[in-house]
Amino acid sequence: MIPMSETAQESKQYFLGVNGEQSGPHSEHEVLSKIRTREITSESYVWYEGLEDWQPIAELYPFADAFKNLDKPALVQNQTNAPSSEPIPDNRSSTTPNVTLVDSSVQADCDDSKLVSTFATDAQSMAPVFEGNEAVFSYANSVRNKLFIFLGGGGLILALLAGGFYFFASSSPTETAIDPHPPKTKGPSAESLREIQFRKALSELTIKPTESLQVLLGVFETNPNDPIGKQALDAMVSFYRQVRKPSEAGRLLMKAGQPEEAVKLFMVDDPPAFQEAEAAYFASYQKASEPGAKQQYLAESVRLLLQPLVNERLAMERIEQLQKEFPHIPHPYQYYLKSEPEKIQDLFSRFSFFFVQSLISHLESEFPHLNLKRRPAVEVKRSKQGRYRIEGSYKGEVSLKQDKLNNILLVFWYVDDQWHLVDTNLTVERQKWSKKERDNLAESQFSEKGMLKYLEQLFRTQFPSTPLHERVSVTSLKPKEID
């Protein structure tokens, strides 16, 4: 047992558990005083900051020594009754006298005034050990004295027994006097200590942020819903806002069950914490009770899953949930609920301009002297066998250098990201060459799944920041792709 300094001990605040009642805080001096006056016993409990549980007070310094001192009897010396240091004079002979005891029946008949010593020698007269009637007592007086002694001693013993029983009955704690584990969130001592910790951490937050935040977090987690817990949360959130760590504040709000506020902080971070924001949106949907708010939170969760998280599997689960739970509330994710043929037509129709622009660029490169009077048409065609290809065509008037030609036919297939002329009546040579190209590319077609996959990949390449369900325009195209 290592003693602490007097200053440290005096500053420590103690809480006592005596006979099932808790009290405190007390100073060390007050506790020692209560031990000396026996207000608390060695069976009482004590707790102070730093201890995890209540401890028997008799096991802790300095109170253990105080209880030991109570058991030591006081040493009192009566100086007036102390024996003299002078030697006792010895007038007796060195030879032990042969003493004859006078019969007590004879002494009883004697006159008290003439009684002499009860000891005498056989051989010679000796000086009496006692003078007069000092050594002889009457029989009546002897019996009376013994009776008084017996009655007085018995009464004294009964009084001592009664006092001892009362003392032990009043001072000994019962077996359930106190819970050996101090309350963590209830009881005056625990709440008082928690509030002291909160005030100290709050005052040191700017100079000792790491340690203070840890203490505030402990105060909050002990009871997030009481006033001290809420104040600790507000202090931490405010601190993280000031130091530009909004995601840290958002995580605290998620712990506090406030996802709708947390998502705002996740989204304003740099860069935004999209993964945590999506979780906060979904938690807000689960928490909300009003249908409009629930639908909005769930739709926002889907939006983040599609872009930028690109988790289409989970997004599809949420979209199906959105459609099932809110069938009459429109949402922008109908594309994902369509069949594959419907998706092909939907997606192609929304960015067919990309293919038109690329075909015009191809014509300008391959036929520099050919001018069309209108834009060519581009479409996705499906064969009787269920095969798909992208086809561009033009039929009408054209200008070839200085000549105007009518009813000119141009047919192109889009294969391997390039346009190939497969039919034309522009010239005989061009017609023969295009027929050979058609024969070579006859098998270059997509299955239904392959066509859809190709279109979605091409869409993502051309519009990387746009989800598949959203509309795009020609201004969104990458300039380098139009040549």
For the chain, which residues make up each domain, given as ranges?
6-70, 188-338, 342-469+476-481
d(CA 418, CA 444): 12
pLDDT score of 107 more than 70: no
pLDDT score of 404 more than 70: yes
For 227-251, write each residue's pLDDT tens digit: 999 999 999 999 999 999 999 999 9
The residue type of 216 is L
The helix (run of H) or strand (run of E) holding residue 409 is strand 403-415
**Cα end-to-end distance, the chain, whole Å:** 87
For 238-307, the three-class secondary structure string (H helix, E strand, C coil) is HHHHHCCCHHHHHHHHHHCCCHHHHHHHHHHCCCCCHHHHHHHHHHHHHHCCCHHHHHHHHHHHHHHHHC
Q: What is the pTM of this model?
A: 0.53
More confident residue, 18 or 163: 18
For 303-357, write each residue's pLDDT tens digit: 999 888 889 899 999 999 999 999 988 889 999 999 999 999 999 999 999 999 9
